[in-house]
Chains A and B, each alone.
Chain A
């Protein structure tokens, strides 16, 4: 993997209900990039935003938990980019600019080489 390419971060992070968790370990099987198991079988979850390219895997990991201990929680993006709004953001929702009559949002850059706003922070 090209280490110089910044990792696109989504608007979500993983949250776990530590009381419900019963060390089934399926989450670590399906999302090893962010979830590790300690010596007793309980998950150690990477902090921070879930990278966009792992979102589907994260959802599968969440669905796989027999006790529903894991979930995705949205982070308020306005708090992270307070002055520029979202700019070009890696949003997991379907893009509304494909709909008829709906203005494209987020705003398209004027050209491909135009600045797309702040690059997301390099992920872990």
Chain B
């Protein structure tokens, strides 16, 4: 019975971690996209992004520990640390391990952001565009043969949410900063008033 508990814990905490991670990625994208209105002040985006990331990694720790100590998978600690060291589904687990390392780097640099050079922080933060897909792939490919339909639905929802937010973020891009250049380049003296020929 106990081994079933660990197995369910692994899958459940993994799912929650992925959902929280997805929420974090979405909040991060939406921060740059400057979402906000009267009900949702903009500072909440970054605030939620940070808090939800921490919740996600807590569930990730539970997920990893439960998986490592689960007698069914016989993963052992090495599999959780070294990619492809696992005998049980080596590729999916490896994807998860790599994603986990990237996640740890993101959390650490996120917490220490004000104490580090910004170009370094930025480079590491860009790896989140690899980290999240790896986590999703890990989830999709690690699915066991029975009863994995609900997990695929969860994966699909995560994918859709991030896709929407990503498109939104790309459409905003660097609009504010680019507009500065445009405004500087306009001239106050060439604004077409009525043309002499009346057109």
User: Which A positions have Cβ atoms within 8 angstroms of B?
Assistant: 22-26, 29-30, 64, 66, 68
Chain B positions within 8 Å of A64 at CB level: 43, 46-47
Given contacts A26-B42, A30-B43, 13 further A-B contacts (CB under 8 A): A22-B177, A23-B176, A25-B42, A26-B41, A26-B43, A29-B41, A29-B42, A29-B43, A64-B43, A64-B47, A66-B46, A68-B113, A68-B114
* Cβ-based interface call for B118 (8 A): yes
Listed by A's residue number, 15 A-B pairs whose Cβ atoms lie within 8 Å are: A22-B176, A24-B42, A26-B41, A26-B43, A26-B46, A29-B43, A30-B43, A64-B43, A64-B46, A64-B47, A66-B31, A66-B32, A68-B113, A68-B114, A68-B118
Which 6 pairs of residues, A with B, have the shortest CB-CB distance?
Answer: A26-B43, A64-B43, A29-B41, A29-B43, A26-B42, A22-B176
**Alpha-carbon gap, A64 to B31, bound state (A):** 11
User: Which B positions have Cβ atoms within 8 angstroms of A?
Assistant: 31-32, 34, 41-43, 46-47, 113-114, 118, 176-177
CB distance from A21 to the nearest CB of B (A): 10
**Alpha-carbon gap, A29 to B47, bound state (A):** 13
CB distance from A77 to the nearest CB of B (A): 24
